[in-house]
Structure 1
């Protein structure tokens, strides 16, 4: 059922906002916690290696949870899964500040990650089924909330730590949860009769997928101590086993046969991984560089980093209208070109570069993030049916977390022992090379599904 044409545009906007308020919770909580790591080390008497598991387990749970929840939203109803996700985030946000030990805190963060993982695939399924015209405009609003909330995370986290303590990072979720819950309860259409049951899930595939992702995570995190050949070998073997196992299933957890037949979707996932390697390398690497080398305080650092989020918010609505008119490919071409430009401009930064110059350079990367995030979302849905939206959206966000894990590995290799301007420049060269690879992948994409069919 789609929205009645007589219903106002205001109702459509409120429906999009209901989804957006929920979907921002995952990326926002991904980065807000980063500024609290030092405080948590003191609170629980941990080393940095210990406390880093708070981030790694969140990435892992999100990477696994996104496709699972996407599949559940297709089987059991998108509204049900969306509301379940909000309830799990509420539970975790209530209990995490009361954690008696660090182990309990990790457990509550995992619940939070699983709950927030339900919101994007279920929400995207609702948007695609309810808003049939000018979807790029609707997705641009979602992108402002979810795509840029991660960029606001460090600044918000620093503010909350300064005026309170680390529990405030969890309590900050409640206004967004409440707004999303009320709007979703009132505006989301009733789910149709359930089309599946728990037994329909490919639980063997889920288990093998989880083990495979966990092994790749261990391999990526081992970069700081050198290249671990046996972990790489085990990860590759597990990936091949998972591919062969799912290929033989009639109702697989992840339809690898579909990915094999539709190489364009696989390219989009690969490109989204690359986008997030660059984005999170900047988001986690630059603040540390600004404080250690440029000697900026937390407030100055937060203001400079707002250039990425601020320009992303300003550009995204224009990108949405452009994509509605011209398709996703022009947006992706501009996005990849600005990534290359922005990362090369990082080479101009020296030990005493002014904050204003750094702000301008980072704003270019904020512009690129707007075009790439929205462009890749629309490119994905050009090649995916509405029925496959849930699982496709889940895999899309899994790709995001794979990129995040890879960015952590890159930063560990470059900044693990010391942070200097030379190390920043090395990161810039790597990210520029990734930008060139993104440009190659973008050029391989057809302009539309119709172009693909003609080929």
Structure 2
């Protein structure tokens, strides 16, 4: 690759890392936000929910928008949006404003992830696998070291610093992207003359609205019931409205010609469906630990944010170290052995959490973090390989979109699980209950991995 290609990758990489960096840094900031805004754990968990709900909607929508209006325009606009949201979020007068800026930040960073990968695929034709692996390092590396960076920043400058840290990345990426990103092709007459109504149909605005409002309403109903300690009529009504809207969303997606989430694809390719279900469960397990451990360390064990970030670094480093090794193993043996070992490691880590007691050495949580870190490295490669095996080539683009949706839904469910188990206060009893639930889920993942292996043997 020539120098221009490398600068193109760096400019894109500095932009796309903002999404995983901001989704991971906040895990260390939750106890501080609880204290500053005087909120219980259930309410403050919306700082997690809001980001992932917005990302799950914004990424596929912005992917379609980039096809219509140009990838360079969308990428640069995303950097400006992320810059403004990161600058204004620390000035929020209350938690509601902070959630609003967090959503805007999520939309801005989501404008760059899928679009940035598409730009590299289109404009770097030599050593493309190397180019994509470099971008993967930006993505996985940012997620891995996010808690560590967040812990240091909060220790030195408090929670606003996790937003301000985005500014130099956004500025550097914008300046480089302005110079290196190829200009968009002139819009076609169809795109140029497209009405707002037609554009809304193309991105399936009705489906996006039903999905977003239904999911938020369901989460509000469930979490409000847990936070208040009793099941009121209002909680039930809100949750039922959310459930009905999600059912309406499914019906709408089955009928529309340009669905936001092509649900029919799941029915046509059951093997791909199982991969997505398994990937969703993997993310429920991983992010329950990812968000649960920092709150346990700081709230229950009174560990500082700085030392929590250092402990969490073992999770990210093990994940980064395991990924390239997993790639070589999977090239030789296929995804089944790696995914089975991943499920075993998650089971071990979950059981280890259950064995902890209030007097266990704080550093003992690193065993669970290491087990989950290695398993995450195996899953990053193994699940993608399993997806390629189960998806026909002609729909691989759609399959990748569904795959990312499964990731975000799993993350949202992990936040819901933590909020439901913990309620208003993060306690040791709740943490142990969470460990028991994760053990059950990881054992089901072992069964699913074994089941796929048996099915593969039958097909041979």
The residue that corresponds to 1:3 in the other structure is none
- 1:230-379 aligned within 5 A: 233-379=240-386
Structure-1 separation of matches of 2:275 and 2:119: 22
Structure-1 separation of matches of 2:126 and 2:225: 46
The residue that corresponds to 1:209 in the other structure is 211
Structure-2 separation of matches of 1:232 and 1:403: 19
Where 1:255 maps in the other structure, the secondary structure is coil
- 1:117-128 aligned within 5 A: 117-128=110-121
For residue 230 of structure 1, report the CA deviation from its aligned partner: 5.1
For residue 181 of structure 1, report the CA deviation from its aligned partner: 3.4
The residue that corresponds to 1:402 in the other structure is 409
For residue 276 of structure 1, report the CA deviation from its aligned partner: 1.9
1:134 to 1:236, Cα distance in 2 relative to 1, 3 A: farther
For the 8 Å contact 2:287–2:414, the answer to whether it is kept is: yes
1:417 to 1:247, Cα distance in 2 relative to 1, 3 A: closer
Structure-2 separation of matches of 1:202 and 1:326: 40
Structure-2 separation of matches of 1:322 and 1:133: 25
> Aligned-residue CA RMSD in angstroms?
3.6
- 1:155-194 aligned within 5 A: 155-192=148-185, 194=187
Structure-2 separation of matches of 1:19 and 1:106: 26
92, 102, 110: which one aligns with 2:85:
92
149, 154, 176: which one aligns with 2:142:
149
Where 1:252 maps in the other structure, the secondary structure is coil
For residue 277 of structure 1, report the CA deviation from its aligned partner: 1.4
56, 60, 68: which one aligns with 2:61:
68
- Compare 171-180 and 37-46 and name the one that shifted more: 37-46
Structure-2 separation of matches of 1:283 and 1:151: 10
Structure-1 separation of matches of 2:236 and 2:275: 28
Structure-1 separation of matches of 2:323 and 2:205: 38
1:371 to 1:129, Cα distance in 2 relative to 1, 3 A: farther
For the 8 Å contact 2:15–2:169, the answer to whether it is kept is: yes
1:50 to 1:363, Cα distance in 2 relative to 1, 3 A: closer
1:52 to 1:354, Cα distance in 2 relative to 1, 3 A: closer
For the 8 Å contact 1:139–1:374, the answer to whether it is kept is: no
Q: Could you give the per-residue CA deviations for residues 282-335 of structure 1, whole angstroms, max 9, x where no partner exists?
A: 122222322344443333322222110111122222223444455444433332
Structure-2 separation of matches of 1:446 and 1:183: 46
Where 1:147 maps in the other structure, the secondary structure is helix
Q: Could you give the per-residue CA deviations for residues 129-173 of structure 1, whole angstroms, max 9, x where no partner exists?
A: 566798776555444433353343333223212222333211101
1:39 to 1:367, Cα distance in 2 relative to 1, 3 A: closer
For residue 46 of structure 1, report the CA deviation from its aligned partner: 5.9
For the 8 Å contact 1:285–1:411, the answer to whether it is kept is: yes
Unpaired runs of 5+ in structure 1? 1-6
Normalised by the length of structure 1, the TM-score is 0.82
1:349 to 1:132, Cα distance in 2 relative to 1, 3 A: farther
425, 431, 436: which one aligns with 2:438:
431
Q: Could you give the per-residue CA deviations for residues 26-70 of structure 1, whole angstroms, max 9, x where no partner exists?
A: 232123234445555665666666544443332332232222223
For residue 114 of structure 1, report the CA deviation from its aligned partner: 0.7
Where 2:420 maps in the other structure, the secondary structure is helix
1:11 to 1:386, Cα distance in 2 relative to 1, 3 A: farther
Unpaired runs of 5+ in structure 2? none
Q: How many equivalent residue pairs?
A: 444
Normalised by the length of structure 2, the TM-score is 0.81
**Does structure 1 residue 25 correspond to structure 2 residue 18?**
yes
For the 8 Å contact 2:31–2:298, the answer to whether it is kept is: no
For the 8 Å contact 1:332–1:376, the answer to whether it is kept is: yes
- Compare 378-387 and 172-181 and name the one that shifted more: 378-387
50, 55, 59: which one aligns with 2:52:
59
